[in-house]
Amino acid sequence: MMTRPLSVAVAGLGTVGAGLLTLLRDNAEIIAARAGRPIVVTAVSARDRSRDRGVSLDGLRWYEDPVALAADGQADVVVELVGGSDGPARALVEAALAAGKPVVTANKALLALHGAELARAAEATGATLAYEAAVAGGIPAIKALREGLAGNRIRRVTGILNGTCNYILTNMREQKREFADVLAEAQKLGYAEADPSFDIDGVDAAHKLAILAALAFGRPVAFGDVHVEGIRAVSALDIRLADELGYRIKLLGIAQREEGGIATRVHPCMVPASHPIARVDGVFNAVVAEGDFVGRVVLEGRGAGAGPTASAVAADLIDIARNRQTPVWGAAAAALDGEPALPMAQHHGAYYLRLMVLDRPGVIADVTATLRDHGISLESMIQRGRAPGEAVPVVLTTHDCHESAMRAALARIGALEAVLEPPALIRIESL
């Protein structure tokens, strides 16, 4: 017998909100079967009432103020698709949890910055806070880590977590074009925002990594501990040289358990061309988890867009309809681990360095002497062509060394008169 429908209030009717309404209508029958009862949107809130969103809003209760949805007595669940780490989105989620009402959100910034307080608020009233859609779009990365791999000690989580960056790097490689050129085209095609800094400077990926790291290692979410670099400095030359060395350049988020704590970092990486993550191209995302019993698990799919994100929201709504509940971060707040965060200066790994130097005798000797003085040993060196008196690229790859030593060496190398621009550094990840 069918029980009463689950009544859903949706705040935010952008691409994802409209996609969710479409999905819940188009797939109503299979969703009802999987949820044990129908799931129906009954109330909505959005900025512009008159805009045509390609989906009928007839018969839905309409609220000008999204926060008012929390107080709608007929709504069983609130879905927050407004976005932003503060303002109406935060106010709505806090009000709904305080009222004991389950919340489904796609808001990674909110969770990365305020996830610890929100989890405590959810725990206090017993309300669910679900966020499958906040990380990697349609990929069930949250469920995989929190539920599917719950029996494992996770060693590392690695992800391509931003489709815009992956699209730009893929096109730079395939079309041999420069960053600025590909970014401008991506903006024209709608793959990149008018202000793309959140994406290309790595902040969006870092929000998502902070969430994955909290789940993987059972610790409070800590966005401030994530080391963040974006892709503005990656050049077409670096991408070509990476290919020659057997690598692909990807913007990765990496969270790993190391001696003494947890390291979380987002930056461009050279990954071996043979690794599964190296072949994830275009707007696709990937999440790779490594557990002590399961080994390596690779999840790949679309990281954004109406369909994939709505798919993730619907999965959370089905869990709520079935009364399936998991603590926000996989364990109760009191059971979360206070393992320390490791600073980037303690990172230990191999590096790719590209220098633009004046082609004259003794320059390479000065560079290698500086590296030697800092205890850094070279694995390979590529110097292409000679052009006496002009600038030529010199590429060095190192054996594993400490980030702090590399930074000190780079400061000295950058100050050499014959080195004409700041050295380019990309970390090599063996994965």
Please identify every residue annotated as catalytic.
208
Residues 111, 131: Cα–Cα separation, whole Å: 9
Q: Which residue has the tokens 């399936």?
A: 324
Alpha helix stretches (DSSP H) within 322-381: 363-373
What are the angstrom distances between the C-alpha of 152 and each of 292, 300, 326, 339? 6, 20, 17, 17
Q: What is the DSSP letter of 147?
A: I
Q: What is the DSSP letter of 324?
A: -
Residues 23, 133: Cα–Cα separation, whole Å: 14
Interior/surface letters 51-74, b for 16+ CB within 10 angstroms, e for the rest: eebeeebeebbebeebbbbbebee
Residues 7, 74: Cα–Cα separation, whole Å: 7
Residues 320, 93: Cα–Cα separation, whole Å: 16
Phi and psi torsions of 262, nearest 5°: -115, 130
Q: Within the chain, how many helices (H) and strands (E) appear?
A: 13, 17
**How many Cα atoms occupy the beta-carbon half-sphere of 180 within 13 Å?**
0
Strand 39-45: give its sheet, edge to edge: 61-63, 39-45, 6-11, 77-80, 103-105, 129-130
- Identify residue 407 by its one-letter amino acid code: R
Neighbours of 414 (CB within 10 A): 12
Q: Is 152 helix (H, G, I), strand (E, B) or coil?
A: coil
Question: Kind of pairing, strands 61-63 and 103-105?
Answer: unpaired
The encoded tokens of residue 221 equal: 């979410």
State which H helix or E strand residue 34 sits in.
Answer: helix 28-35
Residues 347, 319: Cα–Cα separation, whole Å: 39
Residues 72, 261: Cα–Cα separation, whole Å: 44
Q: Which residue has the tokens 């932003």?
A: 84
